[in-house]
Chains A and B, each alone.
Chain A
Amino acid sequence: MANSHQFLSRRLHSLLGLFPIGIYLIFHLLANHQATKGPEAFNQAVGLIESLPFLIVIEFVIIYIPLLFHAILGIYIAFQAKHNVGSFSYGRNQMFMWQRITGIITLIFIAWHVWETRIQFALGNKELNYQMMADILSNPAMVVFYTIGILSAVFHFSNGIWSFLVHWGITVGPRSQRLATYLTMGIFVVVSFIGLRAMAAFIQ
């Protein structure tokens, strides 16, 4: 197995992107979407999550460890490519490039977002509730940053589903791969709508 560790780590990278990270992203955006029903509904959703037993263990196993693995190997993969959309402007080559660009943007966004919310909460500087996000998004620059961050994360996730289907040999022929392109871009539109609508609910 020694010489196939690269194979295994790349397969793991592909798997973790969807399970659990992708699932967590959907869950996170849906929980945020509660804010559209008012601050109380959002605070209630946050309270429900905080009441989970062994929450810190769940956070590490479901989020932090898979995300760190995916991010570190992802940086390596992203900077390995020599982009050539200038000579090969085909759709999938553009997606190949954007998958890497959005991956890096998402990583920067998530690092900032975790620092500003989860870590500040852990340090006891702030309370985790509707007001915390409303304060952050009272700055118009932050609204732009969050919009770019959410769109990048959702694109990376949606297009990542497409790659996952190829990497695991589920969509093999060109017809199924084309259908997967339409479906995953549909997912991008729907999930982006949920994410941005949730963000808008925090802007007062």
Chain B
Amino acid sequence: MAEKVIHLIITRQDSPDSAPYKEEFKIPYRPNMNVISALMEIQRNPVNATGQHTSPITWESNCLEEVCGACSMVINGKPRQACTALIDKLEQPIRLEPMRTFPVQRDLSIDRSRMFDALKRVKAWIPIDGTHDLGPGPRMPEVERQWAYELSKCMTCGVCLEACPNVNDKTAFIGPFAISQVRLFNQHPTGQMNKHERLEALMEEGGIQECGNSQNCVQACPKGIPLTTSIAHMNKETTKHAIKKFFFS
């Protein structure tokens, strides 16, 4: 009986500007593999399905427990983390592609720095530095802490941007995750003190108004973050802010 193999079809790209192409691989099956360990197998023995020697696949990964977001890629048509994509649960052939919403660096490795830029733009942090000791911050109600914790699970993996039909090269949309981060920091008792700055950043070009409510983000988010609830909530907050600013300042 023939040995069990894993059939992979990988979309590759040699440099940021070169054309993508597909390469097939057939690697020996072991129980309990994930996509990362399959890619490591190719790294050990970089031979494609036709038996030719090839360059090993380039990809990114760190934590291997779905908390860092580095190994996001499109697996069988859906953006997700490669570390939690178990071979036994995937339909074969397994098709791996980079998340093309981002600039591809090489093979499955992408540049997600636009997400970092978006977080900087909406000031997704809490300023606590002063020239003297500011003392302890205000306390946070437990019920609020509970849902804020859910929002804080965002790992900037980029899956929501890949799933969103309005994040593409024709728009400047910063993406669902950044809107949810504004909600997180704006309800924090200390973060609240700068909430107008974050609201205004959301109302600039490529901000919250670019959301078209396809709601793919909330379906795709690997951490189950209620992104569409955050977006609707921030819709209300930005509208209130715009009205206040127009009439009262």
Binding site for B on A (CB under 8 A): 3-4, 6-8, 10-11, 77, 79-84, 86-88, 90, 92-93, 95-97, 99, 162-163, 166-174, 177
Are A7's CB and B171's CB within 8 A? no
Chain B contact residues: over half helix, strand or loop, or mixed?
A: helix
Give every chain B residue within 8 A of A7 (Cβ-Cβ). Answer: 203-204, 207-209, 238, 242
Bound-complex Cα distance A88 to B98 (A): 17
Q: Which of B125-133, B137-145, B227-235 contacts A (4 or more CB under 8 A)?
A: B227-235
Give every chain B residue within 8 A of A87 (Cβ-Cβ). Answer: 77-78
Give every chain A residue within 8 A of B208 (Cβ-Cβ). Answer: 7
Give every chain B residue within 8 A of A79 (Cβ-Cβ). Answer: 170
**Shortest distance between the CB of A19 and any CB in chain B (Å):** 15
Across the A-B interface, how many residue pairs have beta carbons closer than 8 Å?
106
Are A92's CB and B215's CB within 8 A? yes
Contact bitstring B223-246, A, C-beta under 8 A = 1, else 0: 000101101111111111010000
Bound-complex Cα distance A100 to B234 (A): 24
Chain A contact residues: over half helix, strand or loop, or mixed?
A: helix
Give every chain A residue within 8 A of B214 (Cβ-Cβ). Answer: 81, 88, 92-93, 95-97
Are A88's CB and B170's CB within 8 A? no
What class of interface size applies to chain B in its complex with A? 35 or more
Are B213's CB and A11's CB within 8 A? no
A172 partner, pick from B171, B215, B229, beta carbons under 8 A = B229
A168 partner, pick from B219, B228, B231, B236, beta carbons under 8 A = B236
Give every chain A residue within 8 A of B203 (Cβ-Cβ). Answer: 3-4, 7
A-B contact pairs, 24 of them (CB 8 A): A4-B203, A6-B204, A7-B204, A7-B207, A7-B208, A8-B242, A11-B239, A81-B165, A81-B168, A87-B77, A87-B78, A88-B163, A88-B214, A88-B216, A88-B219, A88-B220, A92-B216, A163-B212, A166-B228, A166-B232, A168-B235, A169-B234, A171-B232, A174-B228
Are A11's CB and B242's CB within 8 A? yes
Bound-complex Cα distance A152 to B161 (A): 29
Give every chain B residue within 8 A of A77 (Cβ-Cβ). Answer: 212
**Shortest distance between the CB of A69 and any CB in chain B (Å):** 15
Give every chain B residue within 8 A of A169 (Cβ-Cβ). Answer: 232-237, 239-240
